[in-house]
A and B are shown apart, each in its own frame.
Chain A
Amino acid sequence: AQSVAQPEDQVNVAEGNPLTVKCTYSVSGNPYLFWYVQYPNRGLQFLLKYITGDNLVKGSYGFEAEFNKSQTSFHLKKPSALVSDSALYFCAVRVTGTASKLTFGTGTRLQVTL
């Protein structure tokens, strides 16, 4: 069975500082990894995904994520946080094949303060 762990319920960072939101995964086979962001009472917005190739993936709004196969991690990063980045972030994993479900972590709340 596949699973995703987001070890931090909340991450606090000052505006202008770099941010990292952690994600580790467990799958049988090659993973496809996704990051989504959710604002209050809204659906999930796609940020970026890793399929294959370069381990550093760049996405929307200045976010990037690094795939690390040996550590089974896919941490989300941004060099300089904005107050408007404050939201709930979800990591998700899927494997190859149409029968595979997209499995989400429990989410990490990012709070960016002035």
Chain B
Amino acid sequence: RKEVEQDPGPFNVPEGATVAFNCTYSNSASQSFFWYRQDCRKEPKLLMSVYSSGNEDGRFTAQLNRASQYISLLIRDSKLSDSATYLCVVNRDDKIIFGKGTRLHILP
């Protein structure tokens, strides 16, 4: 079993819809969590850190459930420019582990 698992998608979602991704991690010692966004043939860019209390940044909301060992990302009012691959990232003892990513296509 991979240490960080994500549904690879693709998720094909109409513009304006709400979409949610989950990511599960297997090591309960994991300490910090992030969502990165990666556009085709570009480097990953930090979208948001995920805090235990949950956090929101504009249309994006991230949640952490330590008991069930999953992280979620919710995108509201999706835009065409949200089309990308979303990478779940877990930090354990300064070892950074990426999921394979979830591909999102926003349809006009």
A and B, one complex?
Answer: no
Interface residues of A (CB under 8 A from B): none
* Residues of B participating in the A interface, judged by any CB pair closer than 8 Å: none
